[in-house]
Amino acid sequence: MAAALPAAARLWRQPARPASRAVALPAPPRRACVRGEPAEGGGGGRHDTRAPLRTSARRGAMGRAGRRLPALAAVFYGALAALVLLGVRDVLFLYEENRCSMTYMYEYPEYLKIKLPKKTARRYPAYELYLYGEGNYAEENKNLLLTGIPVLFLPGNAGSYKQVRSLGSIALRKAEDVDFKYHFNFFSVNFNEELVALYGGSLQQQTKFVHECIKVILKLYRDQEFAPTSVAIVGHSMGGLVARALLTLKNFKPELINLLITQATPHVAPVMPLDKYLTDFYTAVNNHWILKAQDLRNLTTLSVAGGFRDYQVRSGLAFLPRLSQHDSALSVVSSAVPRAWASTDHLSIVWCKELILATIRAFFDLIDENTRQITEDPKKRMSVLHHHFVRHPAKTFEENPEAFTELTGAFMWIPVKASKWTYSVYNVSNVFFLIVFLCVFFLLMSNFFFLLRILMENISHFLLQATENHTVMFTVKTDTSSWIYGCMNSNSSMCLEATDLSWRAELLPTTKVVILKLQDYTSLSHIVIQVPPTVGNKYTLDCEFFREDSRTVQLPVTHLFSFGLSSSKILLNSTGLLYNVQLQHFNRIYQAFKIYIESHCQSLKERKPSVYRLHVPWSHEDSIIVAKVPSFTEISAKLHIAQPQNDSRVPELNIYSSSDCQYEVILKTSVLQVLGQIIRFHAGALPVYVVSNIFLTYGGQLSTLMSTGQCSDFPLELVRTAKPYKVEPLISIVVFLQGFNWFREIWESLSLPEVDAAVLSSQDAWFPLVSLILFVFGTGIAYWSGVFFSTSLRLFSSLWLTLIRPTVLQKDNKLITPRRLCGVLSLALVSWTTCGAFAVFIIYLQYLFKVIKLHVNVRAEQNMLNGDSDCSKETSQNSSIYTVKNQSSTDSTLKATQSLSNSTTIAEAVNSLKMHVTILNLFTWIVLLNLPSLIYWLKNLRYSVRLDPDPCRSTAIILVCILEILMNSSTSEVKSSKLLKIAAKVPLPLSVAMLAFGRMHLYKVPHFVTLSLLLHVLCCIV
């Protein structure tokens, strides 16, 4: 049998002999074969088998190298995908625990539907207005004889009108505490839980409906004694943006709203700019607030962000634009709000009890006793909001506190003769005053701080701190009364006149801090501390003077590329209650650190907990942690807002410590949190980078098809073609040149939009390497999405082969048939009359079906061809004696030619399949980008069959026509086209344009893809 193959090869090369000289030999046994070479193994042509053997050897060597390259690429791109997943994990899961308390209703909540005018109801059939109530209060309001203060709640993306219940219930309990002298009526709008964060076509409609609701609400109070002329608005998520958009309406009167509180509202830009209507809405609102800032001074706006727990809307987007002339706006992060000190997720911010209590307290402090409505004084409104949301002095708000106070009661003099001293007392039944004589320190210790601390068992501790060069720290009982005074006129036994210094206090979780610059209080002779009753408790007062510079240390942060291998360390030998650790060079959003604080104490006596506060001076985004002593505490240090250009202040770590304890502070770069910051700030742009990589691979496949006639595999072409140096340098050059006026003028004269990278740089949300990092992340995602897509196709084709018998692989020479033309017209009609994304999704499913069918047919043909080859080899090996005839040689030649034709057809089909898989992979991302408008249309289908406005209607019609042709095309038509050279070069400049203009405008990505696919269609035709 070993000699049979060479003999057959020699016989294959012999010329045909005359029939008269034929020798009759026994025929070899034959086996049934489906297709392929003739069983006789003879043939009548001059064929050399050595060339195929050499080609096979070369292919084997290339195959081994090709197998090594995909393996290395899989490892590399797997590592990139893993980095992306680590960043996503940091954003979605690695944040502080939820420290918010749930808000509960004391009675069953009820929602009374407000009847709207018929014209309004017909114009907005999907929207409704409700009044919140509980128990007897709800029964009393059923006749709509309202006497309270109106507050309108606007839900956000997919939000429910019932989310108003937390605000309404807490406000009702607060009104009961004041015997309903003042109370609020909470209204809520039902937006049908629309997905306005993903589809902007209904934002303008919602804004107009809210305007109508405000007019309806104010009419309900028309005949009341204290009828309101304005409405306060609380907006959650996109509801806050809708409230801001009210001022852009032509017929809206700005005096209709005087207070706006937004909760986790993305004010700066949309989280995902998926359609033009969304970005245009943002542009209109923000431009109006910038250009009309002077007209908005009577409107007080508070924006509360959720912090790092809110991964849906990062806090940087929730900060209102910084305008010097617009001083009636305030932006804070919930982790910095006094009495809350907790980060909230996107939903818990509407029911977080600590935040709701701060909001309701602010509402009641805003009431004007004369009008029994929210005050019209914008300065008072800002003072109240600062009091409850920025710096709380642990006192009830007073608009005009008394400058001087007469103190009555028993006095106890405390002579201070040392820089550190302690006073303790037990079981105090009456209030008395401690008088601390300070004049000696003004004269002798002008470079020191004075520190006092009072400890009480079983009650909360507060800290008072005074400074110039003197700081005084106290720990006192938690209450809202005045507790520290500066004596201005005294005799030897009592203080006759004092100024209240309690307003200088700042509330912290376990302390309240007063910082007094003593050189500003040279008229003070004593400091007076009011000691409350302490029956059954111990009361301890610690006092200390210290130098300011001795309690301020500098700690340079580690470099970004230290990867956590190096650290900055400092040891604090505490003799007092405060240290300020300045974090040098910590000013960018991509920086992230782990700070470890370990406390060691000399004795085991019971101490009050330490308070660690990460203070960011240019924004209200502080975070506070309370830790036991001794303990080992880990703090995450990262920013929501980068340092402004003209701001030289430095973030600080404030350590409110225990005396006779040591604190070791270690700072390291956290690689995982750096990845998390990149994902947090730029995850919305990742689809652009993924599509750009697939786009470059698609162009590379067209180039390979043009040069070799074969279409390369997607993973190999991605490794070869998707390089960041092809696109990034050009964008960086354009951004650099836009810094020059002459280039900017030329750019604007060409009516070109501003490059997205320049806009992000102006918002301090960009840094040089971020685009490169995002590109390689996009490459990793594109690689594994291609692998996943190919694997899925193989699974579907295997399932198909087991259930359905495949058809014969045939070549369709007609790209356009009457049937296909009818299908295109039908889908175009669907796109025009219903929803463009729906038509795109249908043609996508049709294309997917075609590709799966082609994959099944190719696999079936390859299996049959492999079976025929095995059959031919077995027949040749078993044939020792056979007859060589001229007719049999002719038949063998015909069959070999047919087999070769089949192999060519399969090879062509494989090339077409590779190209179709890449186009389908590219088109999958286009479908995903258009999916939100499809979901919105399906959700509102009962109100309207047609989506109006439709962000992708025109693009959908073009894509339907293109894909109907592409799904029936093959590479044989493309590689013979005169336009192939142009079509192969176009994806590169379009990828550059996609990254330049699509990062902040995702809806532009399908336009670039559509243009390239249109050239592909022309290649099939021309």
Task: Give the C-alpha separation, 359 to 988, whole Å.
Answer: 53
Q: Give the sign of the dihedral formed by CA 364, CA 366, CA 367, CA 370.
A: positive
Task: Give the C-alpha separation, 350 to 187, whole Å.
Answer: 15
Task: Give the C-alpha separation, 251 to 26, whole Å.
Answer: 103
Task: Give the C-alpha separation, 167 to 644, whole Å.
Answer: 35
Give the active site residue among 166, 169, 202, 237: 237
Helix or strand (DSSP H, E) at 710: none
Task: Give the C-alpha separation, 159 to 192, whole Å.
Answer: 8
Task: Give the C-alpha separation, 887 to 894, whole Å.
Answer: 11
Helical H segments across 339-398, by residue range? 353-365, 378-389
Give the pairing of strands 367-368 and 373-374.
Answer: antiparallel
- Strand ranges for 533-591 from DSSP E: 538-544, 552-556, 567-573, 579-584
Structure tokens at 74: 């899989």
- Contact 169/109 with Cβ under 8 angstroms? yes
- Contact 129/216 with Cβ under 8 angstroms? yes
Residue 841: CB partners within 8 Å, gap ≥ 6? 927, 930, 931, 934
Catalytic status, residue 237: yes
Task: Give the C-alpha separation, 364 to 326, whole Å.
Answer: 25
Task: Give the C-alpha separation, 743 to 740, whole Å.
Answer: 6
Helix or strand (DSSP H, E) at 866: helix 836-878
Task: Give the C-alpha separation, 615 to 621, whole Å.
Answer: 7
- Contact 932/198 with Cβ under 8 angstroms? yes
Task: Give the C-alpha separation, 598 to 657, whole Å.
Answer: 12
DSSP designation for 568: E
- Contact 539/424 with Cβ under 8 angstroms? yes
Neighbours of 983 (CB within 10 A): 24
SS3 853: helix
Task: Give the C-alpha separation, 706 to 727, whole Å.
Answer: 22
- Residue-by-residue DSSP string for 150-201: EEEEE--TT--GGGGHHHHHHHHHHHHHTTTSS-EEEEEEE-TT--TTT-GG
As a 3-state breakdown, the chain gives helix, strand, coil percent values, each rounded to 5, of 45, 15, 35
- Contact 1000/762 with Cβ under 8 angstroms? no
Residue 454: CB partners within 8 Å, gap ≥ 6? 461, 474, 475, 476, 529, 531, 539, 540, 541, 542
Report the candidate in 138, 116, 118 with the shortest Cα–Cα distance to residue 129: 116
Neighbours of 651 (CB within 10 A): 22
Task: Give the C-alpha separation, 599 to 631, whole Å.
Answer: 6
Report the candidate in 70, 641, 588, 555 with the shortest Cα–Cα distance to residue 321: 641
- 3-state SS of 929-994 is HHHHHHHHHHHCCCCCCCCCCCCCHHHHHHHHHHHHHHCCCCHHHHCCCCCHHHHHHCHHHHHHHH
Catalytic residue positions, numbered: 237
